[in-house]
Chains A and B, each alone.
Chain A
């Protein structure tokens, strides 16, 4: 793409690369990572991403607190995680280097923007001496690049103010990395044109910076080679790259179509769930009504109101919001109306770590309401799986007239992977019938409507929506008489209703759990939610090392699959990695009296494959010595 004589650099084929872009939160690292991901997806690589950003919108420039990073792993084979340690780190300033260097694999490539390593920035990052020349980087292949200067020179022709000129340096970095990994340039040029449409100067500046980065790789004599990652052998079909929050939002919208019901979302903005509200707000042409409520409680309460009116109702939130919604969810349990709660778990307690994932809301989802207030709980295992789990949650909510909680987390929310688009026609019909006529008779033999007369199979009550002739009825949070739904304080009736509500949830048609990997192994790894990728990859590594490992991953957490106890009892040992202090372990121990051992991690960062591998290997070795 350049006129200057290009050097003949060897092109090396590699099976994967893990690149981490790191810079100030205003440096555009997420955009850069996203775009690199898109081009790699189009090339047919398998991929997985891990964005990491501070909770503050703009933490003070140049500080460790303000570092924003985006890790992307691309490969020519099937992968399930964004990789443990990056093999390439792009550091836009000293703070990014300081915050991220410990992640870089030994001998990894380090591309640094040398222009940012001035005294002021070094001091802000807490470097007493310049790491570029004090030996700190001796263990890495360091490529010093004056990114700011070259970018300024490249964009000068467009009359960009010097102050703004450097803002294009993320495109310089993207150009350089695109060259290093032989990515085509056209998609990025198109992207720049679309993204900044109408802002000619910005388009010109970013285009020039991107080309300068690409050309720099080719002409500057500091790189020994460039690399190629061939397409992965993915199943044939049409793919898109999707993150968990988008997949979840789409799943909810599609569920509305599959149920032939209007969709309503009541939500209060909260990290990391807000993107669900954003995405669904963009889909008004699907008849989706989004309501940004005054608080978390109103968000849930509005969804209850919409459900009473006959909508497929959702409320999206994170842990602090789920806590606030507790009483409203118990109302939904009592009213027996369909409602789907999307909880994108984050670090806690209290405000905790808003942008970091955790799996510590499981007990709250299960038991975090007053009294006996059972409801089904499901969890997606990967970004794309969020789509299917959203539909499954809606299916259960509608069929059984119950609130359902979906437990995603901040990792799935923002992480992305290629998704083989489903055949829309093969998606399940999850529609249910509203009640339209009397379902009982009174003493005089006249037809009456009994709002709590249950379907004998599902125990679901009829859903009669306002506007239906003759079926006027009142529902409320006060205990109801079985059948009539009238207020009842009778002891026997309350016992019956408590039992019925529990039996209904216990009876949800949950498929049996399947064992992945070595079914006859001595040890099973039990998991739920977003740990799937790391466990799957760890099991693969252990298998390569000669071990046998079974993997049991739960989508349905309440009720649990009927065969779970029997399945787990087959193994001499069961270990359960969770981003919490052992919540699923406790549930399984209590329910099945199986001695599950906990592998915990609550540092706001998802399990790496290595961490799971090491912990499981330790247990395997203990087993072999017994």
Chain B
């Protein structure tokens, strides 16, 4: 996966800004920040060519902590800001950081449109299933019945499944990772960065103040074997300490089975580059929540025309066809007369 001939020109420390990190002690955001800072030197890019864009929320403070260019925007609009930036500057690496409220509630519209356009931005959704910065209301990924300050009798809202939303929006790259596994985060972010198009990564992120342990059922060390299903391209989908569990396709639905019951040949072989998103969708919906076997890794990675470069190609084609910019010609294009 890592290009061994590549010699990094930067160290993780070069990617850290001089600003004090102000997340709550114990927040999952710290480990994501560390993973990204550690990953950056290996990406073959420079801080000056990198931009982190965010909206509002705890996660959205992320740009301040990276020694890159950064825009801390307004609530929900980061994918739109990043789209304009990526269109104007296809030469840059543009990352978008946001939480579940930012990207799936107030900014849901911008997220799905950025994904369908396939503009080259890397969207990392820090999903903690709660509103943190506003001090603990239910979010669009909170489970039904969640008791919070704004839902004292339990939330009535059915949650979004972020990966299913992204797949429904025709995302060309969809992945999931979690804040308890730095290497898995780094591998996943690296894949997102390498993808030529919009890349969407859901990161299970623990909010230890308002929603502590929301993902423990799958991310805690002792639960991982039983409840995390690592997706590996080209391999049968199996998990468990000894690979005793697997996933099969049962009439269009993913189902967890004992491998011994069905035989190895029946297991679903993961194909992330399969153009039809049905299998990825089925896998995205395998778990009802982070308390039962849940796939992580790259669900989908397909090639599709990248938006900013397609825009650039249209500019070139227009120059070819209409000629170079000529103000005089434009001003005369509707016909003129002399007095």
Contacts and interface: CB of A to CB of B under 8 A. Distances in A.
A607 interface: no
Interface stretch (A100-108, A213-221, A303-311, A557-565): A303-311
Interface in A250-264: 250, 253-254, 257, 262, 264
Interface stretch (A116-124, A152-160, A461-469): A461-469
B336 A238 contact: yes
B150 interface: no
B134 interface: no
Given A308-B85, A466-B49, A466-B51, A293 B80 contact: yes
Contacts of B77: 297-298, 301, 328
A307 B71 CA distance: 11
Interface residues of B, number: 59
Interface in A446-490: 465-478, 486-487
B69 A486 contact: no
A301 B73 contact: yes
B48 A328 contact: no
Contacts of A469: 48
Most buried by A among B73, B88, B311, B327: B88
Contacts of B315: 284-285, 287-289
Interface string B46-65: 01111111001000000110
Interface string B96-112: 00000000000001100
B245 to A, nearest CB: 41
Interface stretch (B212-220, B225-233, B282-290, B317-325): B317-325
Contacts of B314: 284
A478 B319 CA distance: 41
A313 interface: yes
Contacts of A286: 325, 330
Contact of B83 (A42, A302, A473): A302
A237 interface: yes
A328 B56 CA distance: 13
A303 B64 contact: no
Contacts of B327: 254, 257, 424
A301 B71 CA distance: 11
B339 A477 contact: no
A294 B113 contact: yes
A487 B64 CA distance: 9
Interface of A: 38, 41-42, 44, 231, 234-242, 246, 250, 253-254, 257, 262, 264, 266, 283-289, 291, 293-295, 297-298, 301-311, 313, 327-328, 331, 335, 421-422, 424, 465-478, 486-487
6 contacts: A44-B337, A250-B331, A285-B319, A305-B71, A313-B88, A474-B19
Interface of B: 17, 19, 47-53, 56, 63-64, 66-74, 77, 80-89, 91-92, 109-110, 113, 311, 314-315, 317-319, 321-325, 327-328, 330-332, 334-339
Given A42-B337, A293-B83, A466-B51, 20 more contacts: A231-B339, A236-B338, A238-B338, A250-B331, A284-B319, A289-B88, A297-B80, A298-B77, A298-B110, A301-B73, A301-B77, A306-B84, A308-B51, A331-B74, A421-B332, A466-B85, A472-B69, A476-B63, A476-B64, A477-B74
